[in-house]
Amino acid sequence: MSDRQIAIEVKDVDKVYKLYEKPSDRIKEALGLGSKVRHTDHKALSDVSMTIYQGETVGIIGTNGSGKSTILKIITGVLNPTAGEVKVNGRISALLELGAGFNMEYNGIENIYLNGTMIGFTEKEIDEKLQSILDFADIGEYVYQPVKTYSSGMFVRLAFAVAINIDPEILIVDEALSVGDVFFQAKCYHKFEEFKAMGKTILFVSHDLSSIAKYCDRVVLLNQGTKLGEGAPKEMIDTYKQVLVGQYQLPESSSEGNLLEDEDIRKLASGQNINPDLLEYGSKKAEIVEYYFTDDKGIRTSAVVKGSRFTIHMKVEIKEDIQAPIFAFSFKNIKGTEITGTNTMFEKSFLEPVSAGDAKEITFEQEMNLQGGDYLLSLGVTGYEGDTFTVYHRLYDVINLTVISDKNTVGFYDMNSRIEVKDAK
């Protein structure tokens, strides 16, 4: 890598924010009224370094609050670092936040020229690129209306069209594509591939681990303002999954100031993918008290790789005698469509009575063949009392699972077709 030209170099960057309890404290401290310190320091980034070479597509991943957006804003010059330095070689086009760099009172055409001028293009150069921007955005006559009247979808279409069609040497994108519809996202990712083929540099922040795995050459993992590592996408995604469930072991050589305390990791894991607004009901003669996923290595996770094996775990406490409980799970997509599921009755795996005071641990192991994306798990314990179907405990949309995939087919799941193409005789 050392013989390749550096596009972005970040060296030992810190970013500290001053937090005040009330606005008047900020004013008093700024005016020097009294010697009392009225703020507390919040370290958003701590000693972060990374080198990105020309032609690379590099992803940055991490939990909310890890410093991903902060480091992008420092690279693009929106923020100044508290310490350290950043060097950029090449013209940057950045899509950091919905609306960044747009004047809400201007119409779409006026904002195209405003953005182009801010990046350093002449009016003549923008004239030459205008039609390609309008074609890519595809928002019709709305381009002549003030952008404050746009839907979020139209807004992101125009913003991304400007960012990607002004011929940047470095493209920086921060989660902006999550607003566009699926067809627009597909068009943007196709443009990413064109950029990669042209040798452009892309810096990409996303919670979509499938896109990170598919498009990135290398991934940087941040957590609570500290760089935990960088490397191949699969390696860093695996490490990220360990962080999410509190099983990441920090190296002993890490400085004390960068350590993530065990208690903080547990808090991080416990709130990562459990639905706070889940629907539950039932008689509670049996109660689901624990549930989680493990990957093919037996590690608790909230994300699995398509094509790998994974396990759903459920622990149930029996409160009253039950003749033949049925333990079940099902998956829905985020639109609420039920995709698949099974239970112990269908599988003929458990048809026994249970007694009050018993506890059962149920595992469903299977291969993940769903398409890449996010899914919601529902769990249940039911049964028959005589001829009456009875719900003992149901948890709807209780936990989220992300499927990581670099190959999606048509529909909900992959049939894993084996394809052969040969000359006809």
- CATH number for the domain spanning 340: value is 2.70.50.60
Confidence at residue 262, expressed as pLDDT on a 0 to 100 scale: 41
Tokens of 222: 């941040």
Residue 190: which CATH number?
3.40.50.300
Whether residues 340 and 208 share a domain: the answer is no
Q: Which range marks the domain in which residue 229 is found?
A: 6-90+169-239
Query: What is the pLDDT confidence band of residue 176, given thresholds at 50, 70 and 90?
Result: low
CA distance 172 to 93: 6
Is 331 part of a structural domain of the chain? yes
CB of 222 closer than 8 Å to CB of 68: yes
Amino acid letter, residue 421 = V
The pLDDT, as a whole number, for residue 40 is 85
| 202/350 same-domain check | no
283 and 365 co-located in one domain: yes
Report if residue 259 sits inside a domain: no
Q: Which tokens is 88 given?
A: 């950029």
* 207 pLDDT more than 90: no
Cα(33)–Cα(10) distance, rounded to whole angstroms? 37
Same domain as 302, residue 388: yes
Which residue intervals of 20-122 are DSSP H helices? 23-30, 68-75, 108-119
Residue 232 belongs to a domain:
yes
**Predicted confidence band of residue 249 (pLDDT cuts 50, 70, 90):** low
Q: Which of 225, 149, 207 is nearest to 372 (CA)?
A: 207
pLDDT, tens only, 268-308 = 333 346 777 788 999 999 999 999 999 998 988 888 889 99
pLDDT(370) > 60: yes
Residue bearing tokens 């064109």: 194
User: How many folded domains does the chain comprise?
Assistant: 2
**Tens of pLDDT, residues 7-47:** 999 999 999 988 888 888 788 777 777 777 777 888 899 99
For residue 244, is it within any domain? no
Q: Are residues 226 and 306 in the same domain?
A: no
Residues 222 and 73 occupy one common structural domain: yes
What is the mean pLDDT of the segment spanning 310-337? 93
Separation of first and last alpha carbons in the chain: 48
Is residue 73 domain-resident? Answer: yes
Residue with tokens 């404050």: 148
